Structure 1
């Protein structure tokens, strides 16, 4: 995470894609497939391609492989006959013939067709029940912490409330995608309330997030957390490098991103004239910026009424933890660490290929709190699916079990 740089001349072509540990990965059969039986041919193709693309892979350069081979023989190259070398190369090609630049052997329509129809249904009452649940928890935590007012309790409150702020963000995120309900006005009202309450400009972020979904996996066009061309990285000032690419500062990057976007991009989520937005979106941006300013005004009033220390304890510290949650989770969903995911440019990129290079992450018991946002691959492919149907949409077909 500290150094996300991609050389301008490197398009993954000199690299070989391998599964973790370099070997095959055995996976259990889906629960609805009998033991010992074979998957249908299309499902097997989906599983193999999903394994190679959506699972983290290690990128090993040809030079690194050659160095490893020489070291394994005591620093001396082993003499190999041309015939043996050709045979070994053919065997390796047969066992590791995956081409990350090749188009998937299936289409988006095939995946869509495998998802049960009811998974696409948006129930506004059910969506609102999650909003009510989260708001009640947020207010209850704040009331309890303020009443107890003990330094033994405050750290526990900060961790819990910061996580709940993140849960509110995810629900507002669903409003932005239109997966909250089929009513655009309801989505907008709820989205503005939820996001403004945690100092996120709803429409400004919604539009830039749409750009991210439409271009994920594209080196130049993705909106955030994308590798930088080496030339661009070298031209950044030292302060920007420090804040954007050196831990722990990237864990606090979201507010900076809202005001100035990512390195190499210009514009602000608050400015209706920013190149982030189309001319017909200016009114939407003005509305969300005004809502954000209204929340700032509310916080200023609370500071005057309750004192700055109380607002710091009740709101500011949880807000910082929410930002850390957001940066942490969004990074994990779009990058490996030691194991990397492919990035594309030009004609190699497609919406399907970009969506398949996101990652699912299991957060244990927190999955339910932050509305299954860890089920991320199917969300990237079909952001219209409500969060409460994501898990079912994944397990509904063997092709998704790798995601």
Structure 2
């Protein structure tokens, strides 16, 4: 849903250099170092997170060095302790950081624990979500037309959020969780995506791969950590990456939209026909809808009534995506180390937003059950999440939206490192990372 670095780099270089192959690193454990063996995270104290020290005093546990030989399976490491995870919650802005999921748990085990009713499609609830989105979007347009200039940002925020509801409806259609009639789903999904200038079929093909390969380093089609080789490849590209994954990260989905969905070479031969139909629909909407808006309201009206809400939609598109799968303690893994249940249950984040956002966006941020099974309709996600809390609650990552959470993601979660998961740009290139330093100074630290 958001921009992968290899594609983002094409905006500036026109080519992509394949990253180096996987290397094996020996796990190290020294004072102020914690080894979370089950998910591969090596967290070296809190030194690389010093800008995120909360207002409350945090006691850093200093672990005693251990022999090179692995400890017995029944001997918990300091990182496995509830106290340690609570410290990470405080630092990162989480409500709960889940215990590592045992290796013997499969995605089918988790899926089978859900009640059957959460998979049931309810036509009334599905079309009610359409009514909510259409009504809230129409209300937003009225607000834009009536609001004085100083209230326009509020009107744009509402309308952009309502725009996001259209995306969620198309999202359900793509996952075959909107209607039992697949033709209806294709039509509704295409129409819901048109105002967003999103081609439905190209997005569906790429998004399916995101679900199949969630948090897999090279295969996931959503946001990846930055590759160090790419970061070091060019000063111009490095500066673009720092801005893109720093202050402009909440609009990076625009780059993903542009690069992933309009290039026929990115799709399999059996997908191209459907991709062309979607592209034709989008271009027809642009050719008819945009001139009509400009004819009725002028170019400034096009900016007021379409462009600004569209940017608001991309703010949520980018923000939701990075919060769902990005945190210092959540690893991205190579395919041979990847575990589906760990990635979908233990590597996905549930985040609560203000209720009006949840309503307009149809609970898309109740995201863990959606990754357990994309066939769960959006209106059943809350019931599914309650079931997961009852059966798998200690493994869940949960947060309520807060500034510290966003600050962590935007100032820490940058370059991939197999031992630490992420290294911040300012650690690798402090003299060029003024945008990150600026974010640390101006972003609030409230949790």
Scaled to the shorter chain, the TM-score interval is 0.7 to 0.9
1:2-401 to 2 correspondences below 5 Å: 9=22, 14=27, 59-61=42-44, 94-96=75-77, 104-146=103-145, 148-235=146-233, 238-239=236-237, 241-242=239-240, 245-260=244-259, 268-271=260-263, 273-275=264-266, 277-297=267-287, 298-336=289-327, 339-356=328-345, 357-365=347-355, 366-397=357-388, 398-401=390-393
- Distance between the aligned counterparts of 2:365 and 2:25, measured in 1? 27
- Distance between the aligned counterparts of 2:163 and 2:110, measured in 1? 33
Please give the secondary structure, in 2, of the residue aligned with 1:314.
Answer: helix
- Distance between the aligned counterparts of 2:73 and 2:123, measured in 1? 53
Does the CA-based 8 Å contact 1:15-1:61 persist in structure 2? Answer: no
Does the CA-based 8 Å contact 2:364-2:378 persist in structure 1? Answer: yes
Q: Which residue of 1 aligns with 2:56?
A: none
Please give the secondary structure, in 2, of the residue aligned with 1:274.
Answer: helix
User: What is the CA deviation profile of residues 213-268 of structure 1, one whole-angstrom value per residue up to 9, with x for unaligned ones?
Assistant: 111121111112112432233235624751564422222222221222xxxxxxx4
- Distance between the aligned counterparts of 2:100 and 2:147, measured in 1? 57
**Counterparts in 2 of 1:314 and 1:245: CA distance versus 1, 3 Å:** closer
Output the aligned Cα RMSD.
3.7
- Distance between the aligned counterparts of 1:295 and 1:215, measured in 2? 32
Total equivalences in the alignment: 339
* 1:329 positional shift: 0.9
Please give the secondary structure, in 2, of the residue aligned with 1:361.
Answer: strand
Please give the secondary structure, in 1, of the residue aligned with 2:250.
Answer: helix
* 1:10 positional shift: 5.5
**Counterparts in 2 of 1:239 and 1:63: CA distance versus 1, 3 Å:** closer
* 1:196 positional shift: 1.1
- Distance between the aligned counterparts of 2:78 and 2:213, measured in 1? 27
**Counterparts in 2 of 1:11 and 1:249: CA distance versus 1, 3 Å:** farther
Does the CA-based 8 Å contact 1:166-1:322 persist in structure 2? Answer: yes
Please give the secondary structure, in 2, of the residue aligned with 1:122.
Answer: coil
TM-score, normalization: structure 1? 0.74
User: What is the CA deviation profile of residues 296-345 of structure 1, one whole-angstrom value per residue up to 9, with x for unaligned ones?
Assistant: 12112211332011121111111111111110110010101xx3311211
**Counterparts in 2 of 1:228 and 1:153: CA distance versus 1, 3 Å:** closer
Does the CA-based 8 Å contact 1:7-1:229 persist in structure 2? Answer: no
Please give the secondary structure, in 1, of the residue aligned with 2:43.
Answer: strand
**Counterparts in 2 of 1:326 and 1:198: CA distance versus 1, 3 Å:** same
Structure 1 gaps of 5+ residues are: 24-48, 66-79, 261-267
- Distance between the aligned counterparts of 1:202 and 1:347, measured in 2? 31
**Counterparts in 2 of 1:9 and 1:389: CA distance versus 1, 3 Å:** same
- Distance between the aligned counterparts of 1:391 and 1:382, measured in 2? 13
Does the CA-based 8 Å contact 1:259-1:269 persist in structure 2? Answer: yes
* 1:149 positional shift: 4.3
Structure 2 gaps of 5+ residues are: 7-18, 49-63, 81-98, 397-447
TM-score, normalization: structure 2? 0.67
* 1:284 positional shift: 1.1
Q: Which residue of 2 aligns with 1:44?
A: none
